[in-house]
Amino acid sequence: MSNRVAFEPYNEQYLEQVRGTYNHFVVHTTVSFDLHPYSPEQMRQLIEPLSDLYRSYVVLYEGQYAGYIMLTQHKKRPAFNVSGEMTIYLEPAFTGKGIGREAMTFLEGVARSIGFHSLIATICTENEGSIALFRKLGYEQVSHYIEIANKFDRWLDLACYQKMLT
């Protein structure tokens, strides 16, 4: 990893920045399938880990807030606790700098240290940049849901990508 990018465990001081990042994607893109901006309480519920198995971090680029990343629960049944879901949201000004790749590598390391067997990412198929990055880092498409969501008066597809860690 470069010296320019750092990952710090999420804490409440970052709530408004994290919420601003997420709400940007809610309002302006199909990266998120949410339809309305999140309140502070909704954002807390989204970003605060459910248990010690999961983690949330803020991304700092040259000391500046650049976004956030999460390793979260994939499904609620206990047998799924061997797999995690990876989420990365970067401020638009910080894309194209290799931060996403570093964030994925970092989260994969965290997941391995916890003992996860696999990681999953669910991505709107319009998000071609994320899909290209996940593929480049060894994630394979394992499903494709057609017209599973509707946002901005259009149908959206969702693809799931998975990487085996062990």
Asked whether the predicted pLDDT for residue 53 surpasses 90, the reply is no
- Distance linking the first and last C-alpha atoms of the chain: 22
**CATH for 23:** 3.40.630.30
Name residue, tokens 């638009």.
Answer: 92
Instruction: Report yes or no on 57 lying in a domain.
Output: yes
Instruction: Report yes or no on 43 lying in a domain.
Output: yes
User: Which pTM value belongs to this model?
Assistant: 0.93
Instruction: Report yes or no on 158 lying in a domain.
Output: no
Instruction: Report yes or no on 50 lying in a domain.
Output: yes
Instruction: Report yes or no on 41 lying in a domain.
Output: yes
- Region of 165 (left: φ > 0; alpha: ψ -120 to 50; beta: rest) is alpha
Q: What is the pLDDT of residues 80-101, one digit of tens each?
A: 999 999 999 999 999 989 999 9
Q: Range of 62's domain?
A: 5-121
Instruction: Report yes or no on 152 lying in a domain.
Output: no
Q: What is the pLDDT of residues 92-145, one digit of tens each?
A: 999 989 999 999 999 999 999 999 999 999 999 999 999 999 999 999 999 999
Domain count for the chain: 1
